[in-house]
Structures are given as structure tokens and as C-alpha cells.
Amino acid sequence: MKEMEIFGKMSITDDKEEIIKKYQTAAKAIIKAGMMPFPLTNTFIEILKYYLDEEDLEFIKAFKMKQSMTMEQLKKKLKDMSEEEIDRIAQKLAKKGFIFNQPSSKGFIVYRLMPIVMIGTFEYQFMQNLPESEAELNRIKKIAELYEKLLEELAGKIQEGYDTIVPVFEKQPSTDRTVTLLSSKGTKSIEINEKMEVQEQVLPAQTIEDIINKFDDIAVGNCFCRQYRKMLGHTCELNAPMETCFTFGKSARHVIQQGFGRRVSKEEALKIMKEAEEAGLIHKAFHNSSNIYKDENSICNCCKDCCDIFNLWRMGATPIITSTNYVSQINQDICIGCGTCIERCPMDTISLNDDNKAVVNESHCIGCGICARFCPEEAVTLKEGMRRVYIPPPRLET
């Protein structure tokens, strides 16, 4: 059988039953670590073969029952390994995006297994600058193709079990928070939603400036969605800047340490965010434990055509589950029906009515403010009120 080289340091025969079982065990642990119900397919295994050697597989096996462990816990699981050996392999896997190894609030290292996607190996791989050598570029292109196939397989699984799986999605917390472009042209007046219930918690920061100013450690890397779609031959319709993926605090320290991104000052971070807004990108904030009342750990700046948040929804693979503090309102007296907001809206939630005026399907509006930012007539305002938006993946015809 044909042999496959893994990271240039070992080779395996891909029909050996024992090694395939090790890959399957590692795959199950990695799938369990993530939010997405990926099927354990040959595609998933092929992706792992590009990253993991046998000692990596043995290390990951220790996480099959528990996603995060301390050194003492790992020593009990990996009885034949010294602390030095455990830390060496953990650092190697951290460089590949499979292990998060930062100190806890109590000062000791916690080793956490990362998923393949959201947020894990895939994102870290494509946050980095692309290699210059043709051989490495071809390797990464192949990985991008396998990821695309894996996402298609996920969509197929969701569609096949739609009636069973989608109701489970509906009960999940928001996976992100949409931060509105409050500096938008056209966002002159913010109307308070009188029906909004009083929150006991302090509302999360509502502007990019407030979020940036909360953190001393900030890192920026390439947008992994635009980067990997570029590898697949797609050109961003907005010609958006590439370096727009932010991490904060502990996540930023990890990204910098592993070389997935670079450290930036608050001033440079705000400058990049401004450029992202001018390009028409949407701020998506991710919070610790998916709890919008906890600190942000990252912000993606998304475009309609490249971002997997929107693409996976359109593919029928995942729902949109976001928290937002705003909903768009269109002044029918000012709107001229030019269609700019329709073209820009990432959720395709704006349409023209019989009077050739733009109208918003409020239940599908994620409050991103893009329509307000680019409306040439300044016909859009934003109504305030924290809410959760849930839009199930479409049921696709087969």
C-alpha cells in the first residue's frame, strides 16, 4: 500500500488496523471536545494524518474522558511518561493547534484538548501566514480541500437527521455575540426598546472600543475563513483585509506563543478594526464558556461570502445562534429602494416590498449595523434591546 509521511518524521502504512484504531480513538476525543457534531468519517481521519504521529495519538487518547487536565492528572493517565515528556508532546501539539496549554487563574498549567473546528486546529492553521515553499502550499491546499469536504459531510449528517438534531440546536446558548457598528453612518438615533426586561447582570460591552480597552494582551492573525477559501480559489467579494482575527487575554497569549498571530497595541487594534468596518466586515465576539456576560476571548471580522458562520448556515449544517443588542429599522419615507442593504445583509433578511421599499425580517436580523453603515440615504436606524437570535439551518432539497 502507499505510504503517507506525517510531518516529515515518520511513515505509516495506511492499511494497518492498529494505527487506524488509534486515529479513530483520537478523532472521537477531538470531536467530543468541540461544539459541532462531526461524523467520524475517513475525511476526518485523513485530516488527522496530516498533523498527528503515533506519540501524538497516544497523548490525545488520554483526553477521551476529560477535555482538560492538569499535569498531575495527565501523569496518572500517561504512566510511562515523565513530566518533561508530557510537556514536550503538549508543546508540540500546541504548535499544531490541538492543545491549549496556558496557566489557569491559580497559576498552574491546564492542558486542554482543542476541537478540529470552532475554535481549534483549523482556525489556528489558517490564522498563520501561508508558507512560501510550493510543497508546503500544496500540503495546506490539500488540508483546505479536506476541511471543505468535512463541512459538507457535516451538512449531510444534519440534513439526514434534521427533525432530531435541529431541536437540540434550539436549546443551545449563543455561540457568539454580534457587536454593532455603532459608528455607522445612518445610525444617528438609537431607540430604546421599551419591552426590554431589566437585566440583573451588567450588559456586555457594546462597542469595539470598550472591548479593546479591557485587555492588555491583544493578538491579531489572518482571517482563517478568507485564508482557507483563498486556498480553494475563492476571491473575497469585498476584497477585505486578511489580518482581522483578534484574540484577547489568555487566548492572545496562547496565539502569540504558538506563532498563530502577532501582538498588537490597543491603538493598532482599533486601527485594524476601523479598517474592517470600512470594508464592510461584521464584528463577531466570542466569550468564555459561550456566556455573553463573561469576558470576550476573540473577535472575528466576517464577510458575507467567506465566513463559515454564514456559509455553514446556508449549507444547512449549523444554525445561527447569536446575541445582539440591536435590530434594524428602515424609514419608509426616506428609503429609495436602491438595494444596497439587500446586497450587504449577511442574513439575506432584507427585501423590497410592493412599494419598492426595503423591509426587514426582524426575527432574522442579527443587528450587525451593516445596512445602516452603507445606506446612501441614511434611512436605517437601530432599535436597542438585548436579544437572542436563533435561525435554524434551512432544510435543503435532496
The CATH class, in words, for 178-391 is alpha beta
Domain ranges of the chain: 3-116, 178-391
For the whole model, what pTM was predicted? Answer: 0.89
Q: Which of 308-346 are b and which e, b meaning 16 or more Cβ less than 10 Å from the residue's Cβ?
A: bbbbbbebbbbbbbbbbbbbbbbeeeebebeebbeebbb
Is-contact 246 324, C-beta < 8 A?
no
pLDDT values of the chain reduced to their tens digit, one per residue, 398 residues? 333 333 333 344 445 788 999 999 999 999 999 989 999 999 999 999 999 999 999 999 999 999 999 999 999 999 989 999 999 999 999 999 999 999 987 888 999 999 999 889 999 999 999 888 999 999 999 999 999 999 999 999 999 999 999 999 998 999 999 999 865 444 444 454 444 444 456 778 889 999 999 999 999 999 999 999 999 999 999 999 999 999 999 999 999 999 999 999 999 999 999 999 999 999 999 999 889 999 999 999 999 999 999 999 999 999 999 999 999 999 999 999 999 999 999 999 999 999 999 999 999 999 999 999 999 999 999 999 999 999 999 999 76
CA 236 → CA 114, 142, 296, distances in Å?
A: 28, 20, 27
Question: In the prediction, which pLDDT does 203 show?
Answer: 74
Pick from 280, 364, 261: nearest CA to 320: 364
Do 3-116 and 178-391 share a fold? no
- DSSP symbols for 121-134: HHHHHHHSPPPSSH
Question: In the prediction, which pLDDT does 200 show?
Answer: 54
Looking at domain 3-116, its CATH architecture is: Orthogonal Bundle (1.10)
What is the spatial distance between Cα 318 and Cα 312, in angstroms, rounded to a whole number? 6
Is-contact 113 94, C-beta < 8 A?
no
CB atoms within 10 A of CB 159: 19
